């Protein structure tokens, strides 16, 4: 057990919780849990212009749904709080002042307009983008002048002009950046809020984060962060940049590829245990074959060393397969309970609510094998609930039979069923199987006709089980409606 392992998930509340972010959270959570350390959630809400209402709640909701519990952060607090960066501005101002007084940062008075012109000029000259250090060496007098004009400055870091910044990434190994390729980036904006770079470094240090686990897209920020750690004389954490989640076209997974918000997957009827298992295996593996791992197995076996280097593809077919496996593995009662909200939402309005739970309990085992998502359950069971079936799509006519022969078969079945005292699977079978021969039909023809008559579907759970759950009264009414439908067809 390593008590000093402290990982964090540091989302910006700028939108819905993308599955990519959730996988970052998952890796950080798994590592913390595996090591017996702490998992911290910190909300990086310093970009006021990009804040989205409800985003924090959606992110926390996503974490809760996956049961990624956090030891410190929003709602639970902790001794390193507050855990919203917007409530920690003093710390960033203190760091910025310290850097200025040491000569490692400076005030920059360039107007947005000047910066825009500078950028346009760089584009024209095909120069790399970046601040041209116009204010880096302003004299005290020049600064006073700007202040007197009422210009509110930003604070920029005085990036060393030479040398290299190196770090050892646990996934990438040694990474080296030339300082000359890094511009004098902004630390504090004119609205008084810090940039990501400053706030991230100040907080990872203040919160004693031991391992920064984040997506590869942040790797180019890391030399900036290291320069800040150095200037502030702080020890940097260990860095781990994991590969991104890609779409099938090997481009970063985005809306273009379909649902990307974890909340959407919940609404589409994926189980949280599926998503946990599935996301863990995008970029991490136990070995080259194991696909199914429970939460505990993931915690027990997780290691940063087994995160791969190459981008990993989000494979929807595999997700569907895996969800089916997890659905089949649920206890019957668990499946019922998880299906209820989806039935409530998906069944036609005419079906009376609240649903009859005992009836639901009889139905659900019949479809548990076939459901790929919880959202499927309403469609798969609809015919159990509605009062009237609609035979337009599938007329109750058996294979190689005409309407007259089908009507004869249904009428004979009706009489048999009426006489039945027990309406269970075995009694139904014992009564109907011999009937096929008597009517000179094969069983497929008779059972097919009965299937459509009692469900208006051609693919259903096993016929006798289905009829037993529907019950005698409902089956007889349905056969009667099928007969009515046939007489319409015949007239």
* Residue 168, φ and ψ in degrees, nearest 5: -110, 110
CB of 68 to ligand GLU, least distance (A): 15
Find out whether 446 and 400 touch, Cβ atoms under 8 Å.
no
The DSSP secondary-structure symbol of 111 reads: -
CB of 280 to ligand GLU, least distance (A): 18
Q: Looking at beta carbons only, is 214 or 485 nearer to ligand GLU?
A: 214
Number of neighbouring beta carbons within 10 Å of residue 64: 13
Q: Looking at beta carbons only, is 231 or 244 nearer to ligand GLU?
A: 244
> CA 150, CA 443: separation in Å to the nearest integer?
92
Please tell me which residue in 3, 51, 90, 255 is annotated as part of the active site: 255
> CA 37, CA 6: separation in Å to the nearest integer?
6
What is the pattern of x (binds ligand GLU, CB under 6 A) and - over residues 25-64?
-------------------x--------------------
Residue span binding ligand GLU (CB under 6 A) among the ranges 9-17, 270-278, 290-298, 414-422: 9-17
CB of 298 to ligand GLU, least distance (A): 21
What is the pattern of x (binds ligand GLU, CB under 6 A) and - over residues 189-218?
-----------x-------------x---x
Burial 359-392 (b: 16+ CB within 10 A, else e): ebebbbebbbeebbbbbbbbebbbbbbeeebebe
Task: Please give the residues from 418 up to 437 whose contact with ligand GLU meets the rule CB under 6 A.
Answer: none
> CA 416, CA 165: separation in Å to the nearest integer?
86
Residue span binding ligand GLU (CB under 6 A) among the ranges 7-15, 347-355, 387-395, 423-431: 7-15
Residue span binding ligand GLU (CB under 6 A) among the ranges 6-14, 397-405, 444-452, 457-465: 6-14
Contacts of 394 (CB under 8 A, 6+ apart): 452, 456, 457, 458
Q: Looking at beta carbons only, is 10 or 304 nearer to ligand GLU?
A: 10
* Residue 108, φ and ψ in degrees, nearest 5: -125, 130
Query: Binding residue for ligand GLU (CB under 6 A) from 5, 6, 7, 12?
Result: 12
Task: Please give the residues from 155 up to 184 whose contact with ligand GLU meets the rule CB under 6 A.
Answer: none
Query: Binding residue for ligand GLU (CB under 6 A) from 5, 10, 22, 469?
Result: 10
Reported as half-sphere exposure (CB side, CA atoms, 13 A), residue 42 has a value of 32
CB of 101 to ligand GLU, least distance (A): 27
Two structure tokens written together for 410: 């249904």
Residue span binding ligand GLU (CB under 6 A) among the ranges 10-18, 76-84, 114-122, 163-171: 10-18
Residue span binding ligand GLU (CB under 6 A) among the ranges 5-13, 98-106, 254-262, 372-380: 5-13
CB of 50 to ligand GLU, least distance (A): 10
> CA 407, CA 262: separation in Å to the nearest integer?
50
CB of 242 to ligand GLU, least distance (A): 11
CB of 78 to ligand GLU, least distance (A): 18
Residue span binding ligand GLU (CB under 6 A) among the ranges 4-12, 55-63, 243-251, 344-352: 4-12
> CA 425, CA 468: separation in Å to the nearest integer?
6
Side by side, which strands form the sheet with 238-242? 38-41, 6-9, 211-215, 238-242, 164-169, 173-178
CB of 42 to ligand GLU, least distance (A): 8
Q: Looking at beta carbons only, is 44 or 104 nearer to ligand GLU?
A: 44
- Long-range contact pairs involving 423-432 (C-beta distance under 8 Å, separation at least 24): 423/467, 423/468, 423/471, 423/472, 423/475, 424/468, 425/462, 425/464, 425/465, 425/468, 426/464, 428/464, 428/467, 428/468, 429/464, 432/464
The structure tokens 């600064």 sit at: 143
Q: Looking at beta carbons only, is 199 or 428 nearer to ligand GLU?
A: 199
Query: Is position 19 an interface residue for ligand GLU (rule: CB under 6 A)?
Result: no
Tell me whether residue 255 is one of the annotated catalytic residues. Answer: yes
Two structure tokens written together for 383: 């015919």
**Secondary structure (3-state) at 314:** coil
Residues carrying an active site annotation? 255
Applying CB under 6 A, the residues found at the interface with ligand GLU are 10-12, 44, 200, 214, 218
């Amino acid at each position: 057990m390593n008590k000093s392992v402290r990982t964090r998930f540091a989302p910006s509340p700028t939108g819905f919780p993308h599955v990519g972010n959730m996988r970052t959270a998952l890796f950080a959570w798994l590592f913390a849990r595996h090591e017996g350390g702490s998992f911290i959630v910190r909300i990086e809400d310093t970009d006021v212009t990009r804040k989205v209402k409800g985003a924090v709640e959606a992110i926390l909701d996503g974490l809760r749904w996956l049961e990624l519990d956090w030891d410190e952060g929003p709602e639970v607090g902790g001794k390193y709080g507050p855990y919203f960066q917007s409530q920690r501005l003093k710390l960033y101002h203190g760091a910025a002042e310290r850097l200025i007084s040491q000569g490692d940062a400076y005030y920059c008075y360039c107007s947005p307009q000047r910066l825009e012109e500078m950028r346009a000029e760089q584009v024209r000259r095909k120069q790399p983008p970046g601040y041209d250090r116009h204010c880096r060496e302003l004299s005290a007098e020049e600064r006073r002048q700007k202040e007197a004009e009422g210009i509110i400055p930003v604070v920029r870091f005085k990036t060393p002009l030479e040398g290299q910044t190196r770090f050892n990434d646990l996934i990438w190994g040694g990474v080296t950046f030339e300082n000359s390729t890094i511009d004098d980036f902004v630390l504090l904006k004119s609205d008084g809020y810090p940039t990501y770079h400053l706030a991230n470094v100040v907080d990872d240090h203040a919160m004693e984060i031991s391992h920064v686990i984040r997506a590869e897209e942040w790797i180019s920020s890391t030399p900036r962060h290291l320069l800040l750690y150095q200037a502030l004389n702080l020890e940097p954490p260990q860095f781990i940049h994991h590969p991104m989640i890609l779409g099938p076209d090997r481009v970063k997974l985005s809306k273009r590829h379909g649902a990307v918000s974890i909340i959407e997957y919940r609404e589409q009827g994926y189980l949280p245990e599926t998503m946990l298992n599935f996301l863990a295996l995008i970029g991490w593996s136990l070995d080259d074959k194991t696909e199914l791992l429970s939460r505990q197995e993931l915690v027990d076996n997780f290691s940063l060393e087994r995160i791969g280097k190459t981008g990993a593809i989000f494979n929807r077919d595999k997700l569907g397969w895996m969800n089916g496996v997890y659905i089949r593995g649920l206890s019957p009662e668990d499946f019922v309970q998880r299906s209820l909200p989806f039935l409530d939402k998906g069944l036609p309005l005419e079906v009376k609510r609240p649903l009859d739970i005992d009836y639901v309990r009889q139905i659900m085992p019949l479809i548990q094998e076939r459901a790929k998502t919880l959202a499927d359950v309403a469609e798969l069971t609809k015919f159990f609930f509605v009062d009237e079936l609609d035979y337009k799509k599938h007329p109750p006519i058996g294979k190689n039979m005409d309407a007259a022969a089908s009507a004869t078969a249904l009428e004979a079945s009706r009489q048999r069923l009426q006489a039945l005292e027990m309406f269970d699977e075995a009694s139904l079978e014992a009564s109907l199987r011999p009937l096929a021969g008597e009517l000179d039909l094969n069983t497929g023809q008779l059972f097919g006709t009965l299937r459509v008559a009692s469900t208006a579907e051609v693919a259903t759970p096993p016929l006798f089980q289905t009829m037993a759950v529907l019950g005698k009264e409902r089956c007889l009414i349905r056969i009667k409606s099928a007969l009515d439908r046939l007489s319409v067809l015949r007239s």
